[in-house]
Amino acid sequence: MTIHEISAESFDKDVLHANDPVIVEFFSHSCPHCINFAPVYTQLAERLNGQAQFFKIDVIRNEANRTLAHSRGVRTVPTLELFYQGRVIGNIVGYHKIKKVESSIKEFLSKKTENVGPGTLLTELTLKHKI
């Protein structure tokens, strides 16, 4: 499974207009927690191949990416946002072990068709690392 790095410019097309579930990692190449989480995210993409599309966006790379992250309420990296048909169905904040993240993602994906309003999170895991 390939993880595509996207930018603020392609976010709407790649994420909000996707028909399939999408998982986006907001990260920074200079963040120690993000560096440690990178192999976990890669393993998740492999394990959940075919169940969701995987993207990542570097929040430090340029002002547009940083503005997008802040407009979405991302204040901590790594942060995963899970989308289905343009709406957020889950949010996982901070570095966590793969089993915890995978079980949360599977829960999100199993409930993706429930009537969850924009901004309503099914679950949130939190471990803070400020950007």
- Residue 70 belongs to some domain of the structure: yes
- Residue 14 belongs to some domain of the structure: yes
Range of the domain at 17: 3-125
pLDDT number for residue 112: 66
* Domain CATH number, residue 103: 3.40.30.10
d(CA 47, CA 34) in angstroms, rounded, equals: 19
Q: Are 109 and 85 in contact (CB under 8 A)?
A: no
Mean pLDDT value across residues 11-39? 96
Q: What is the pLDDT of residues 1-18, one digit of tens each?
A: 789 999 999 999 999 999
Beta bridge partners of 93: 79
- Residue 131 belongs to some domain of the structure: no
pLDDT number for residue 101: 92
pLDDT number for residue 108: 85
- Residue 130 belongs to some domain of the structure: no
How many domains does the chain contain in total? Answer: 1
Enclosing H/E stretch for 11: helix 8-11
Mean pLDDT value across residues 71-79? 94
| 89 class by beta-carbon count within 10 Å (0-12 exposed, 13-18 middle, 19+ buried) | buried
Nearest alpha-carbon partner for 89 in 102, 106, 74: 106
